[in-house]
Structures are given as C-alpha cells and as structure tokens.
Amino acid sequence: MQLFLFISMVVLVTSCDKKRVFDDYKTVGTAWEKDSIVAFSFKQEDTTKLYNLFVNLRANQAYSFNNLYLIVAMERPGGLVKIDTLQYQMTNPDGTLLGDGFSDIKESKLFYKENLRFDTIGDYKVEIQQAMRQTGKIEGIKALEGITEVGFRIETIE
C-alpha cells in the first residue's frame, strides 16, 4: 500500500509540470556575493516552439530591499552573448516578501524572456549576477543577504 501511495505521488508531481523543459537551482548560501555568478547550461534542440524563460529565487526575511537588480547573460551556440539588466519588485508596500511559500522562505518566479523562439540548436549558457547598490553608493553590495537560492526555468507555451 505504501509503495502504491509513493508511486502515485511521484506520478502526480511529475505530471503537473508538463510545461517544464529545464528547471534547476543553485544555492548561494546565506548571502549572494557580488562577484558570484550563478551559471546554468542546457541543450536546446527545438527551433519551432515558443518558450517562456524565468529566473527563480528563494528568499527569506533577511532580504531588506524593495526590489532586486540582476544582470543576466545568455550565451548562444557560436559564442554570441546577450546581456540584460533586469529589475524586479521583491516586496509588498508593507515590506513583506512577495512570492509563494508557507514558511519564511518565499519562492519568486520572475519573467526573464517571454515568447522566445530559440533560433539555433545547440548548447546555451545563462549566467545570473546580482547588481544591487545602496542609494548614493557607487560600489555594489558585497553580500546580498536573504537570497538563498537562484534558479533558472524554461517552459513551453502551449
């Protein structure tokens, strides 16, 4: 009976995520260092479908900012790199973290690219770096507390 329940749960969990093409997380510890680049590699074999790409973050109450700035670089096969600077809202006006989760850790699924068609088959690499600065300061925040994991996800558009 327990085996049946276990198999049922595995099938249920995996079948609920039919849009997932790639989904991975990397831990950054208790603070995301300024010079720490989180990298993901994936192989793309379909140039006909449309995809949505997301940066996923897990954050806790130690995150003390309203927003988040990221630098995201995508390297295509052949070495062409496109770099984007992105800004995301991370908290409600009252300072509570946005995102899903029942505990102190909230998971945020942040759009990176919508309706993207990969025009080249091959190996891709995505690098994500935090680019937070305090108001009036030139140098970036050396250790961004509250972000514990950084993820990257690709979903098909049905």
According to CATH, the topology of domain 20-156 is Jelly Rolls (2.60.120)
**pLDDT value of position 16:** 62
Alpha carbon distance 130, 37 (integer Å): 8
* Per-residue pLDDT at 9 exceeds 70: no
- Rounded alpha-carbon distances, angstroms, from residue 70 to 44, 67, 101, 118: 24, 10, 22, 22
* Per-residue model confidence as pLDDT tens digits over 31-50: 999 999 999 999 999 999 99
Token representation of residue 45: 């074999």
* Per-residue model confidence as pLDDT tens digits over 56-82: 999 999 999 999 999 999 999 999 999
Long-range contacts: 99-104, Cβ < 8 Å, 24+?
99/57, 99/59, 104/60, 104/61
